[in-house]
Structures are given as structure tokens and as C-alpha cells.
Amino acid sequence: MIVYLRLFAIALFGVVSFPTAAQQLQTIDRVYDPKIASVLLFPQVSTNLIDPALTLNPPVISLDEQVVLQLEFDDLTADYRAFRARLVHCNADWQRSILNDIEFTYEYNDNPITEYQNSINTKIPYYHYRFTVPRVKLPGNYLLVVYDERNRNNILFTRRFSTYQNRVTVGAGVRFSSDPARQFSDQQIEMSVNYRGYQVISPQDDFKVVIRQNYRDDREIRGLRPTNVQAFDQTLEYRLVDLSNTMPGGNEFRFFDTRTVLSRANYIDRIDRPADRNIAYVQVDQPRSRGVYIQSDDFNGQFVIDHRETGNGPTNADYIETVFTLKTAEIPGVDVYVNGAFNFWQLTDRNRMEFDPTLGAYRARVLLKQGVYNYDYIVGSTGPKPKVDENFIEGSFSSTENDYEVFIYHRPPASRADQLIAYKRIGVNKRK
């Protein structure tokens, strides 16, 4: 009888609620299964095109364009497992909304992931999975949840993405900080919002503004309020004198290239090739906080998967034990991490470094798929009030090239959830 009622609910409403465990799901980018690796979610015009550079774009797409989101990931168990995916709608603060599935999806919100391939000629075998995310009805924030088909409570990983429709116009620019003490280290984002033709009751209160640096959810500015409301022109200006619209510029990211193991590529010191795996030693790094700014090109912390010999990174690229070494004296009272988009910018045991007294350096070993990676070093203090400092080792400069995104959210009258009504990407110190 219970099964019959459940099937009747699916036929009538097209929705099935999460079990209790999933109701408490954290709405963040996270991999829960240690055998899942290289989770990529990116916009793609054609699902048949293999272009590693596409993965550098954030998972933010317009509902008015024919662009889909492509999910790719690897299962290092090397055994086929049946996975399924579903979507969770979230508000501007990334808390789960009260919308039912039928309000934001066109189809039944429970999709099998059926496209997969075996790895080819790799020392570490894996299954490579691909999945095209279904289109949604509403602009806003979403969480993609991938779980084991045999056990809905066994969630493998979650990934955030956003969809938007530009209903208001955003003007934005980035320059060095207006504070003389921070003009060489910080960058300031000034912006305006023109809402002409858009229905809003209290424009100075109803818009929610989020500014994100380098596609990182740990580098955001929230809660900004307009400094000037031009009611006749229907324009809001955000030119804050309290520097709440200012962020550290950071430094250009370090990088290395492991697209081939047949020879040493950029910033690889040596490659060992035992029978069961390959080991790549990244060149020894030094702190950069006391030096001057040095211009260099980077991916703003992102990475691409690629295989030089075949050009087919998804299935021909091997997993390499990548060794990072930071030459510096032991820093008391803090943990040191090697970090980047490869770890969703999270500080975990996977990327925590250990101090080696014999080397006089910190060292970490991270299993990474072949490609080109950006990374940097972060310190996190221990104790009752932990603090993360990315500038302690890397330094911060207003001349650094960065990407910024501006998200404008609004909850229309009679709506039950926040919608993303404007999205804009801007760059600062671009050199090409």
C-alpha cells in the first residue's frame, strides 16, 4: 500500500521528497566518497565537443541561451556503480528553499547517470562518468546531488550551480582600494544597478547583492546596501566608503604541468615511475609574502584535465601522486595547506601539509589527475577561534589579475524563493 501511494504521488505531482538524512544535507561543494575524484561541472554548448579549456568557466548559465551544464567525474573503485542525480533549489544564502520539485524542474527530478567509459592504459584504473544536467524553469541557485542508486542516503558528492535571467542591468568596475593604507594590496569593486522596467517594491532593501572573487565561494562579499538611490533614473549606486566592497587582491597562482609523464614539464622537478603509480615532485616553493609582485599568467586557481600524448584527458589521463614542498621554517600554532579548486578551496586532511625537520620544509602528497593545475599555500590557525590567512605565505597585491562575478537576487512579489535576476563577470588587470 505504501509503494502504491508513493507511485501515485509521483504520477500526480512528479516529485519525491528526500529522506531524512538528505534533508540535513550541506548545500556546499563537497565530495563525501573518497573514491570519487576530479568532479567537474561546467557550461558547454555542444555535448560532443572535448575542450579542456571549457572547464575553466564557472557553472553559471543563462536560461535564455542554449547552453547546458556538463558534469564529469571519476570513480576510482574501478568497478561499475549505478549513480543517480537530482536537484535541490536554494535561496540566495544557499539555504534550501521551500519550493517543490515540480516548481523548478521540467521532468521528474531523479535522473540516472548512464554515460560512462573505462580508463585507458592508466596505472590507476577508474570509470569516467558524464551527465548533462537537466534544464530548470527558474533562475536561481541549485545544488546537484549525486548518490548511489542502491542507497539514496549514500550521497557521493554535491556541486553548486546557478542559472540567471538578466532582468536588471549591472554596471561594475574594479580598481585599487581607496584606503591609502591598502591601495597596494586590496581591490575595490564599485557597481550600480539599473532596475528600469522591473517591478520592485523597495529597491534599496529588496535586492540581495553577492560579489565573488575567482569563482570561489570562500571569497565573497555579501550584505551590501546601496549608498545612493536615484529614484527618477531607477538606479542604485554602491560606492561604499567603509571599504566593505574591498577584497585582498592576493597573488598570481602558482602552477605546474603533469600532462605528460614521459618528461618533466613546467615546474616539475622529477617524476618517479614505480609499477603501481607515477609520482611527480613539484619544484620546491618559497614564501612570496615579502617579495615584490611578479606578473604571470594563471587560471585564477582553477585547473584543466588533459593528456598530452592523446589529447583525451577524460579517459587517458592517469592519476599521479603529486608531491608539494614549501621551503620555510616551521610556523608555530598553525596548519599549512596546499590549496586550489582541485579541493574546492576547502582545508581538509587531504591537502594538509606536514613539516619535515630533515627537509626543513612542509610537504604534502595529493592524488591528482594529469593536467595543468593552479595552487597556493594557506595557513589556518588552530584553537577556539580558527582563522584562515591566504596572504601570510603568498602576499597580496592590488596589481594581481582577478575575475569577479556580481550576482543580483530578488524575490518577486508572491514568489516563494529568491531568483537570480542579474549576473555579470568582470576582470581586473587583464593583459590579453
Reference 264, options 277, 276, 281, 251; nearest CA is: 281
Q: What is the CA radius of gyration of the chain?
A: 23
pTM of the model: 0.92
Phi, psi of 60 (to 5 degrees): -130, 120
CB-based contacts of 281, cutoff 8 Å, min separation 6: 268, 269, 270, 271, 272, 323, 325
The pLDDT tens digits along the chain (432 residues) read 443 344 334 433 344 444 433 447 899 999 999 999 999 999 987 655 668 889 999 999 999 999 999 999 999 999 999 999 999 999 999 999 999 999 999 999 999 999 999 999 999 999 999 999 999 999 999 999 999 999 999 999 999 999 999 999 999 999 999 999 999 999 999 999 999 999 999 999 999 999 999 999 999 999 999 999 998 999 999 999 899 999 999 999 999 999 999 999 999 999 999 999 999 999 999 999 988 999 999 999 999 999 999 999 999 999 999 999 999 999 998 999 999 999 999 999 999 999 999 999 999 999 999 999 999 999 998 766 778 999 999 999 999 999 999 999 999 998 999 999 999 999 999 987
Architecture label for domain 169-249+400-428: Sandwich (2.60)
Helix extents (H) in 281-410 = 313-316, 391-394
Determine the pLDDT at residue 381: 82
Report yes or no: 315 and 271 within 8 Å, Cβ to Cβ.
no
Residue ranges matching CATH 2.60.40 in the chain:
30-164, 169-249+400-428
Secondary-structure class of domain 30-164 per CATH: mainly beta
Q: What angle do CA 329, 322, 35 make, to 5 degrees?
A: 120
Determine the pLDDT at residue 48: 55
